[in-house]
Structure 1
């Protein structure tokens, strides 16, 4: 019995290597996957993409290779700016008419719009200008967030090695079907 214990113990000790010897040979590094499109994890990619989008909208999307998102970003910003300019023009028109009316001059809305309605129109277009600014700023911030999240998700490993599938098993003894979920991990 002692001989069997000694034999097993000696086989275990000879099978172990010194960790320094393994590190010297460089065996502690993880082997690279077999796929050709493997890229190592870049922790600064999301920060770079967000920074580029903050500097110039759409530049972070170009950094991520999502060129189709650039026109969407500029269209959103353009729509917000267009509505700001349009509302500002209308606001100035009603404001100048109100000033003319207070000064006793004839304005372009004389006889059609009352003074109270001129004040209401000014408030309406002022509020719409502010909303246009908020929408434009929101689209700009959304552009930055999109570039950051997209850079994070590009580095996310999505392959078929890890799968979560429903499983049905027929029990031949009872004649019933068993349902369940199986988690498969392949090396």
Structure 2
């Protein structure tokens, strides 16, 4: 039997549920997730992850908007106090120094929220890529551990052991 016939016989003996390895699938899934978050998860047929991606992005975006609105409220009140007005919503409750500190706090919170949102976006892309990589591994139920018993030819004693068999 020549090498060519052995290769043909090997290809013919593939199981029916065999799917061909696609080396570009992880890159494609990552690209889809970069274009539209959750699209890479849909490409990988992991539909249950899509609501998680959008919930995480939605919550972090909510905190960006909320911190920006609060920052604007305190900044406007501070500007009115600098202009000499005494009718801002915080007058009598928060000092001018307190308005400055609140602006710093909400600006910092907004910046952290932006970083968290970018992190979630990147994790979405990484998840799609890794999931596409892991789908290409053959994880069937044929993996098994079998005990083995062997007799030593020279001493006549029994050798015991375990064997782990992988079929490639």
TM-score range relative to shorter protein: 0.7 to 0.9
- Which digits, 9 at most, give the CA deviation of each residue in 1:39-96, with x for residues without a partner? 0100000000000000000000000000110010000100010000000000000000
- Aligned to 1:60, which of 40, 52, 55? 40
2: CA distance between counterparts of 1:71 and 1:96?
37
- Deviation of 1:159 after TM superposition, in Å, equals 1.7
2-structure distance, mates of 1:89, 1:157: 51
Counterpart pick for 1:148 among 126, 129, 132: 129
TM-score by structure 2 length? 0.83
* Cα distance in 2 for residues equivalent to 1:79 and 1:122: 22
CA distance in 2, matches of 1:142, 1:135: 10
Query: Residue 96 of structure 2 aligns with which residue?
Result: 115
* Structure 2 residue matching 1:105: 3-state secondary structure: coil
Aligned counterparts of 2:11 and 2:28: Cα–Cα separation in 1: 28
Distance 2:160 2:140 in 1: 25
Higher RCO (CA < 8 A, seq sep 6+)? 2
Unaligned ranges ≥5, structure 1? 1-16, 170-177
Give, in whole Å, the separation in 2 of the partners of 1:28 and 1:67: 38
Cα pair distance change 1:43/1:180, threshold 3 Å? same
Question: Offset of 1:163 from its aligned partner?
Answer: 3.1
CA gap of 1:164–1:100, structure 2 versus 1, over 3 A, is farther
**Aligned in 2, Cα 1:186/1:80: closer, same or farther, shift over 3 Å?**
closer
CA distance 1:43–1:104, shift in 2 (3 Å): same
Over aligned residue pairs, what C-alpha RMSD do you find? 2.4
Q: 2:57 aligns with which of 77, 82, 97?
A: 77
Q: Which residue of 2 aligns with 1:28?
A: 7
